[in-house]
Amino acid sequence: MLEQSLTQQQISTKLGMAQSTIANKLRLLQYSPGVQRAFLNNKLTERHARALLRIDDKGEQLQAIEYITSNCLNVEQTERYVGSLLTADAKQAPHGNRVFVVKDVRIFQNSINKAINTMQYAGIEVDSTKRETEEFLEYTIRIPKSSAYTRSS
């Protein structure tokens, strides 16, 4: 790979783009490879990604991506969501302990479904049912003991 020392302005001239466009694209390289993959896999836009640059923690970035994807947030909604996360963080205890609170149960439902799929993929027999009543969402997960405690040799 050929490396050259070019300024953003020189790159923008060569590519026919505004310098701010180059700067915005370079800022996205701050994300870890895992977060970059999450953006691509979930087909989020560069503008979604830029909105999340305000979140420092990789884990919180991934949780936010999952929330944005599962709720089909557009860019404006994403920016408001990130703002609300940062406002909530600012109100945290002065010790800096950060707690990510999600009030949308669909994220947890997705986590349950992923856990069940992972167990099935690993060869564990799993029987699960979801039932909705007027008051509750009820999940029943049954794993036969013979399947749960089998060790591979």
Q: Are residues 40 and 25 both part of a single domain?
A: no
**pLDDT at residue 113, as a whole number:** 85
Could you tell me the pLDDT band of residue 153, with boundaries at 50, 70 and 90? very low
In this predicted structure, what is the pLDDT of residue 152? Answer: 53
Q: Say if CB 43 and CB 68 are below 8 A apart.
A: no
Mean pLDDT, the chain, rounded, equals 83
Residue 78 lies in a domain: yes
* 69, 110 contact by CB (below 8 A): no
At CB < 8 A and 24+ separation, what contacts does 71-78 make? 71/104, 71/106, 73/48, 75/45, 75/47, 75/48, 75/51, 78/48, 78/51, 78/52
CA gap 18, 88 in Å, rounded: 35
CA dihedral 104, 109, 112, 114 (to 10 degrees): -100
16, 23, 38, 147 from 26: Cα distances, Å: 16, 5, 18, 49
pLDDT band of residue 75 (cuts 50, 70, 90) is very high
Phi/psi of residue 143, nearest 5 degrees:
-125, 115
Q: What's the CA gap between 104 and 107, in Å, rounded?
A: 6
Range name among 44-48, 75-79, 108-112, 136-140 with the lowest pLDDT average:
108-112
Q: Are residues 87 and 111 in the same domain?
A: no
- Please check whether residues 39 and 60 belong to one and the same domain: yes
Question: Domain of 120?
Answer: 105-148
Same domain, 128 and 94: no
pTM summary value: 0.53
Residue 148 pLDDT exceeds 80:
no
For residue 4, is it within any domain? yes
When divided into structural domains, the chain yields a total of 3
State what percent of residues in the chain have pLDDT above 90. 24
Do 129 and 110 share a structural domain?
A: yes
pLDDT interval class at 141 (50, 70, 90):
very high
128: left (phi over 0), alpha (psi -120 to 50) or beta: beta
pLDDT in tens, 6-27: 888 888 898 998 888 888 888 8
pLDDT score recorded for residue 111: 84
Which helix (H) or strand (E) segment holds residue 68: the answer is helix 58-70
Q: Do 78 and 37 fall within a single domain?
A: yes
Residue 153 covered by a domain: no
- Is the domain of 84 the same as that of 44? yes
Residue 97 lies in a domain: yes
